[in-house]
Amino acid sequence: MAIIEVKDLVKTYKIMEKKEGLIGYFKNLIKPKYREFDAIKGINFSIEEGELVGYIGENGAGKSTTIKILTGLLTPTSGSVSVNGIIPNKNRIENNKNIGAVFGQKTQLWWDLPVIESFSLIKKMYKIPENEYRKNLKRFTEILDLGELLEKQVKNLSLGQKMRCEIAATFLHNPKIVYLDEPTIGLDVFVKENIRKFIKDINKEKKTTVILTTHDLRDIEDVCNRIILLDKGQIIYDGDKQKFKDSYGKYVIAELIIKDKKKDIVLNDAEILEQFENKLKIKFRHDETTIVKIMDEISKFCNIEDIHMKEEELEDILKEIYKGAHKC
């Protein structure tokens, strides 16, 4: 049975229509007018235990709204959500025992306390057995390099240091499911890599189910094997990451080292991204032409010394989808 089941989920927010000026201010107070906005428009998905799912989409697509519903912070307008057999908004305390959540910049640690004290409080709150706590603390300290941070007050930590502690705190009670809503925002590449490795290691070791929301698509490339792509409150793709890339990544980028260029290169089947005396960068659709044909065309202008090809990355494909160039 799926560990997360979402059926026909709708979330409608009520937004107050603000009237301007002093009279408007009083009108707002006396008789506020509301309009409705559907942030989630009837979505369905189910997630099996141990999956690493990238939940992605443009700003305002409805990702955080979904995660807040899954954690029980928000109530669905209609439809149903089940997390490990529990309806989150109806049984938040029970649901909290099974889950961990990181919401971007918000902290679950106690601001004025040293990190280790926050961890001790979490141990008490979740009744984590002593040996389990010790084991996790040791392991997490190692992977996330927390050694020097444990005695520091949370308020004195840098953003990256805080997020490493935050991630450790989230996994301390061995949650079955972890929601990470933009855990790598604003972090340097090393901390990002550190966090990605941690998520992968723990998922492998403990079969933790992870739903990851991020705008850094390298997080998804590195960590997730499935993606759910949300667009204005609707799911437009749900499936294997590689299949997604195979189906929608129609372009190939090729970098060529050239010499003896006779004149400016002009190509029919490929777009020229850059051209210099000894270097050429092109982009072409692999379903419309082949590199052999293109090389044949290029060789009329120069000699080709070397070639390096790469497929479009997730980020490039999504840019095209957001622009409306590809339909899912």
Contacting positions for ligand ATP (CB under 6 A):
13, 15, 37, 39, 57, 59-65
Distance CA 67, CA 55 (A): 9
Residue 57 binds which of ligand ATP, Mg ion, none (CB < 5-8 A, kind-dependent): ligand ATP
What are 86's strand-pairing partners?
Answer: 83
Residue 186 binds which of Mg ion, ligand ATP, none (CB < 5-8 A, kind-dependent): none
CB of residue 13 vs ligand ATP: minimum separation in angstroms? 3
Residue 61 binds which of ligand ATP, Mg ion, none (CB < 5-8 A, kind-dependent): ligand ATP
Residue 265 binds which of Mg ion, ligand ATP, none (CB < 5-8 A, kind-dependent): none
Nearer to Mg ion, 26 or 37 (CB): 37
Identify which of 228, 97, 126, 119 has the alpha carbon closest to the alpha carbon of residue 167.
Answer: 119
Identify which of 242, 316, 326, 323 has the alpha carbon closest to the alpha carbon of residue 273.
Answer: 316
Instruction: State the Cα angle at 99 between 203 and 209, rounded to 5°.
Output: 25
Nearer to Mg ion, 66 or 275 (CB): 66
CB of residue 64 vs Mg ion: minimum separation in angstroms? 3
Instruction: State the Cα angle at 231 between 226 and 236, rounded to 5°.
Output: 50
Nearer to ligand ATP, 15 or 309 (CB): 15
What the block records as the tokens of 85 is: 């057999």
Element of type H or E holding 325: none
What the block records as the tokens of 131 is: 């040996």
Nearer to Mg ion, 55 or 198 (CB): 55
CB of residue 113 vs ligand ATP: minimum separation in angstroms? 29
Residue 100 binds which of ligand ATP, Mg ion, none (CB < 5-8 A, kind-dependent): none
| Residue ranges in contact with Mg ion by CB under 5 A | 63-64
CB of residue 62 vs Mg ion: minimum separation in angstroms? 9
Nearer to ligand ATP, 171 or 179 (CB): 179
CB atoms within 10 A of CB 35: 9
Residue 15 binds which of ligand ATP, Mg ion, none (CB < 5-8 A, kind-dependent): ligand ATP
Nearer to ligand ATP, 169 or 228 (CB): 228
Query: Running DSSP on this structure, what letter comes out for residue 221?
Result: H
Query: What are the C-alpha distances in Å from 234 to residues 51, 65, 68, 228?
Result: 21, 12, 16, 10
CB of residue 237 vs ligand ATP: minimum separation in angstroms? 15
Nearer to Mg ion, 67 or 258 (CB): 67
Nearer to ligand ATP, 15 or 295 (CB): 15
In sign, the C-alpha dihedral spanning 317, 322, 327, 328 is: positive
CB of residue 139 vs ligand ATP: minimum separation in angstroms? 31
In sign, the C-alpha dihedral spanning 121, 122, 125, 130 is: negative
CB of residue 63 vs Mg ion: minimum separation in angstroms? 5
Q: Is the CB of residue 150 less than 8 Å from the CB of residue 116?
A: yes
Residue 257 binds which of ligand ATP, Mg ion, none (CB < 5-8 A, kind-dependent): none
Inter-helix orientation angle 130-144/159-171, to 10°: 150
Q: Which residue is nearest to Mg ion (CB)?
A: 64
CB of residue 38 vs Mg ion: minimum separation in angstroms? 16
In sign, the C-alpha dihedral spanning 268, 271, 276, 279 is: negative
